[in-house]
Structure 1
């Protein structure tokens, strides 16, 4: 089993999040660290602070040396795919090839309404997402990209410098939609992330992904399957880690490849040593 951490950039400070990531960088059991791509908090006071995901990610990439870094996951609706491709290439350069490129179709109506960002109906949103991912891959991979879609148009477009990772940073697609999301995973992704309650909920989704891979001639073993497990910040730390380990055991038995441990909102670096010690025998 492989492990990662995730810190939510809501109701926190840059210094606190930086210190946790820098500390996690010292524990080999954590292969990657993730934040999220939202402009408003998703819990507590929705008028509270929330650090922007990609600018924070660039700074965290520079502050660390080993751990892979990613945004779980970037809402395609928020940025033109060509802009996102340039951002991803730059962060991969900054990190010396440690970027995990997490993307999703987007969903947050509140943020879109507040900022005047269109949130298209679901079908159009996924049409835009598919075109956006394909366009980004071209920009990250090829010297020049021309792409003519219904929503994305590139004409002899360049993205320089290219990312360190070739042909492009690994793409993680997040979500559980059985046809459009898992279909996109089968076509484009090197990793799939989903938030589910337990292995019983995960199993049928994985079976559907296998079907989607067969439809496009893809080996599902090429795709890392990851899920999130929450460390409860409302109970004593030892109890919270123990409960998380129970969930980890269930997902391990189910065949999940990577567990992303969602740290409590007020987490400090001190949580990482006992967590790493508990996970090390399972890695």
Structure 2
């Protein structure tokens, strides 16, 4: 089971804070550092000092880390034109020496669009399908050849399809709870399917849909990685769990029901249930970015038991 650290910087974080967490992620042996791609805070927090851009952040971290994978859960398809996104991700992949992964979603949070003047189209999912075709098509085009695309929403003519990522294949993550279109899109374009904030039962059900969709187009279902994203809150004692839950505005018992919370033993046991449902990777949504002691505890007493 791979454990990855997943942050939500729109809730309030500087680049320096994110760098500190990313370096701790690397030093403590976690597999990857991922971040959300949002421009407006959610819930009752001040969000200060304000948003940081996902791909600018990852470009910086690409030069200041050496081992961990870096990526997004999820880049909003509404934020960037697909051709521009392909260039950005390829460049950051080069800067990292081939450690980048792209989580790409349709975009859903209307408030951040209106706040920063970003169009929020109705046909977001149809646009996402074209974006995936373009980004992957640009990367797959042989050097010296051109890429053209004539879609409903996007048209590219004789693109040089440069630059290329450092990796032969940048892993593409697709996720969500949709019963039909999401599994179909994942089967066609994804290297990894992620379901966020889902129960063990819903996880197993959604993974089965994705596997069936892959097999329906002649793709081996085991070609995909299947993963979860879950909020984490671990403590050595009940009091420590309660304190950490309160620090992120949650209740300990609610987190135990809906996330990975409790003692290291409790969390290891619940991770095992997700593994039985088909998950081989979990993104730990780490909300209190100043609580590096919790990261150390997870590394030493949770991750160590999963290897």
Q: 2:47 aligned with 1:40, yes or no?
A: no
Residues of 2 paired with 1:43 and 1:15: CA distance? 23
Of 161, 164, 167, which residue of structure 1 is paired with 2:163?
161
Residues of 2 paired with 1:44 and 1:265: CA distance? 14
* Number of residues of Structure 1 aligned to a counterpart in Structure 2: 279
Matched residue, 1:99: 100
Matched residue, 2:248: none
Q: 2:150 aligned with 1:148, yes or no?
A: yes
Q: What pairs with 1:55-204 in structure 2 (closer than 5 Å)?
A: 55-121=56-122, 124-142=123-141, 143=143, 144-166=146-168, 168-204=169-205
Q: What pairs with 1:237-256 in structure 2 (closer than 5 Å)?
A: 239=262, 241-256=264-279
Matched residue, 1:210: 211
TM (normalized to structure 2)? 0.85
CA drift of 1:81 comes to 0.2
Deviations 1:180-238 (A, max 9, x none): 11111000000011113321111111111122112211111011111012123872469
Matched residue, 1:267: 290
Matched residue, 2:242: 235
- Asked if the contact 2:139/2:164 (under 8 Å) is kept, the reply is yes
CA drift of 1:47 comes to 5.9
- Asked if the contact 1:194/1:227 (under 8 Å) is kept, the reply is yes
Unmatched 5+ stretches in structure 2: 235-240, 245-260
- Alpha carbon RMSD of aligned pairs, Å? 1.9
CA drift of 1:159 comes to 3.6
Q: 2:224 aligned with 1:223, yes or no?
A: yes
CA drift of 1:267 comes to 3.4
Name the CA shift for 1:240/1:13 in 2 (closer, same or farther; >3 Å): farther
SS at match of 2:31: strand
Unmatched 5+ stretches in structure 1: none
Between the two structures, name the one with larger relative contact order (CA 8 Å, sep ≥ 6): 1
CA drift of 1:173 comes to 0.9
CA drift of 1:52 comes to 1.6
SS at match of 1:106: coil
CA drift of 1:253 comes to 1.9
Q: 2:304 aligned with 1:280, yes or no?
A: yes
Name the CA shift for 1:23/1:272 in 2 (closer, same or farther; >3 Å): same
Deviations 1:89-123 (A, max 9, x none): 011001100001110111111112222322222xx
Residues of 1 paired with 2:270 and 2:41: CA distance? 26
TM (normalized to structure 1)? 0.92
Residues of 1 paired with 2:291 and 2:86: CA distance? 32
- Asked if the contact 2:268/2:305 (under 8 Å) is kept, the reply is no
SS at match of 1:232: strand
Residues of 1 paired with 2:286 and 2:264: CA distance? 10
Name the CA shift for 1:242/1:43 in 2 (closer, same or farther; >3 Å): farther
Residues of 2 paired with 1:126 and 1:52: CA distance? 22
Residues of 1 paired with 2:46 and 2:180: CA distance? 32
- Asked if the contact 1:8/1:265 (under 8 Å) is kept, the reply is no
SS at match of 2:60: helix
